[in-house]
Amino acid sequence: MKILVCISHVPDTTSKINFTDGDTKFDTNGVQFVINPNDEFGLTRAMWFKEKQAASVDVVNVGGAETEPTLRKALAIGADAAIRVNTEATDGYAVAKQLAKVVNDGGYDLVIAGRESIDYNGGMVPGMLAAMIDANFVANCISLEIDGTNAKAVREIDGGKETVSTSLPLVIGGQKGLVEESDLRIPNMRGIMMARKKPLNVVEPTDVSAETKAVSFEKPAPKGAVKLVDADNIDELVNLLHNEAKVI
Amino acid sequence: MSIIVYTESENGKFKKAGLEVVSYAKAIADKMGTSVTAVTFNADNAESLGNYGAAKVLSIKNDALNKFNAKTYAAAIAEAAKQEDAKVVIVSASADSKYLAPILAVGLDAGYVSNVVEVPSSTSPFTVKRSVFTNKAFANTEINTDVKVVGLSNNSFGLIESGGSASVEEFSPSLPDSGVNVESVDKATDKVSIADAETVVSGGRGLKGPENWGMIEELAEVLGAATACSKPVSDLGWRPHSEHVGQTGKPVASNLYIAIGISGAIQHLAGINSSKVKVVINTDAEAPFFKAADYGIVGDAFEVVPKLIEKLKAFKVANA
């Protein structure tokens, strides 16, 4: 089984979110980048398939050279090879198009992506990719088992979960639950040393233009200070929620 | 060239998020000088969507579609959009809508923008405001394709009732192979889901153990709210993972979010930030949640929550 894990290169959760160039660009100054958390759960699940079912695992990112440390980290965790599509990730559609070419060229059976990236939160790349390559697709995937070409997956739905059966080729939008947080792997020294010798292939992009464009960014208006209510005066809270906030 | 809306239902009844997108579509249709056509799957009382702004309903009745399937539903909506020559297709931010929207967008060669929080500021170029960086910012985003798919963030527009009635046409789209088959569904049917809820009551590690969730559930019941929990609580197995809200859990966009015994780690706040009014109850006055909340009580949840339940019950009786 050939697995491709899509790795998004995203600002660490604790990053300060600021914009530059007249609020048209994300300010990367002082920002630390990490593997997108949703992708990290998928990568760890892929390692399980590698170890238990002899799968090969490649990782891919669509982005500039600045994303290579993130791909090297994925190699240090255990992926066999990395691919970087050398172009700026403009929108979800354009990224999905680039990934579709990588999947078709590489003949992958299973593509594991995260349900969304924690920066732009589009949540569209896995589904678009599946539609473009005519593969089956499971969103919000919290469990995945593969037996031959058959797959059994669990999808988180509003208020519960759903167990589905499907088959390869398959794309999933994965998240926490694929593995638990305690199962995530931190690269060890041996992994980091080995990652330096693993292939990181830079491929040139296919010609595609974005369908959407973020023309400007803004931050929410600063929030007023919290109104504290005395623990002995719950009536006041009920009154505020009813008359001021108008939510009850 | 009407606007097409995917109106979700469950067991024949429309979901609130499904009605909200109809009202939202009506606001866009008014701007563009057109009307709203809703697509429904095995739903009852389709004409009632007129009350929320639909002029027409394409009603699909097909037992093969009793269980949601992203691919077949997307194909059906795409066929409806082509039949009506729709330039704009609206879906909600439910798990099912987010599942099918990317497939639908590819099928229609349409640009898709999710997590939209307002009516488009301009329809030419078509520009919408969406939340990004897990609710820490907004991006004004242009969709440059002929057909556009817009995913509306739940509870960001609200319901607008006009008292109208919609004409209903039967619609029988051709369906592709589903590819993914539902084996079983595990869902509490008697509870409001986090995605549908207007109010969410959420508990954290401050509640000390799963045996203390009775008062959380009682408070939720009084408010007609969904119950949720913080990540440590789901990691400890006190509550199911489906209740975990935050960055790696479910996003919350309720009107009222009540956090009890939750300190407010940045990953938690990221997931609940788009809730409109936030109330925190915590013993620690220094808990970061107080900086993010609108109302707060510094106090012991085991004393405050039972009193709050009592007061809210009295309030409900007085305002019934």
CA distances from B93 to A122, A165, A169, B155 (A): 11, 24, 27, 10
Q: Kind and range of the H or E element at B91?
A: strand B88-91
Q: Do B295 and A245 touch (CB under 8 A)?
A: yes
Whether A39 and A7 have beta carbons less than 8 Å apart is answered as yes
A150 touches chain B (CB under 8 A): no
- Give Rg (Cα) of chain B: 21
Number of domains composing chain A: 1
- Please give the sequence-ordered ranges of beta strands (E in DSSP) within A16-157, or none if there are none: 19-20, 25-26, 33-35, 56-62, 81-85, 110-114, 136-147, 150-157
Q: What is the CATH number of the domain that holds A39?
A: 3.40.50.620
Q: Do A231 and B300 touch (CB under 8 A)?
A: yes
Residues β-bridged to residue A150:
A147, A167
Calculate how close chain A gets to B230, using CA atoms only, in Å.
14
Average pLDDT over residues B176-190: 91
Whether A243 is covered by a domain: the verdict is no
Calculate how close chain B gets to A233, using CA atoms only, in Å.
9
Q: What pLDDT, on a 0 to 100 scale, did the predictor assign at position B40?
A: 98
Report cis status (omega within 30 of 0) of the bond before B240.
no
Calculate how close chain A gets to B261, using CA atoms only, in Å.
14
- Examine the pLDDT at A211 and tell me if it is beyond 80: yes
**Type of residue at B48:** S
Whether A228 is covered by a domain: the verdict is no
Whether A235 is covered by a domain: the verdict is no
Share of chain A above pLDDT 70, in %: 100
Whether A220 is covered by a domain: the verdict is no
Q: Do B107 and A131 touch (CB under 8 A)?
A: yes
Confidence category of residue B193, pLDDT binned at 50, 70, 90: confident
Task: For chain B, give the mean pLDDT.
Answer: 95
Chain B residues close to A121, C-beta within 8 Å: 114-115, 131-134
Q: What pLDDT, on a 0 to 100 scale, did the predictor assign at position A221?
A: 87
B297 touches chain A (CB under 8 A): yes
Q: Tokens representing B10?
A: 């469950």
Whether A245 is covered by a domain: the verdict is no
Write down the ipTM of this complex: 0.96
Task: Specify the residue for token string 């170890």.
Answer: A51
Whether A15 is covered by a domain: the verdict is yes
Q: Do B241 and A177 touch (CB under 8 A)?
A: yes
Q: Do B295 and A130 touch (CB under 8 A)?
A: no
Task: For chain A, give the mean pLDDT.
Answer: 96
Residue of B nearest to A114 (CA): B248
Domains and CATH numbers, chain B: 3-170 (3.40.50.620), 199-318 (3.40.50.1220)
Of A140, A165, A213, the CB nearest to B141: A213
Q: What pLDDT, on a 0 to 100 scale, did the predictor assign at position B247?
A: 87
Whether A137 and A170 have beta carbons less than 8 Å apart is answered as yes
- Examine the pLDDT at A159 and tell me if it is beyond 90: no
Residue of A nearest to B300 (CA): A231
pTM confidence score = 0.94
> Where in the sequence is the domain holding A123, given as residue range(s)?
2-215
Whether A156 is covered by a domain: the verdict is yes
Mutation site for A-interface testing, chosen from B68, B77, B106 by largest number of A Cβ within 10 Å: B106
Mutation site for B-interface testing, chosen from A155, A212, A236, A242 by largest number of B Cβ within 10 Å: A212
Whether A183 is covered by a domain: the verdict is yes
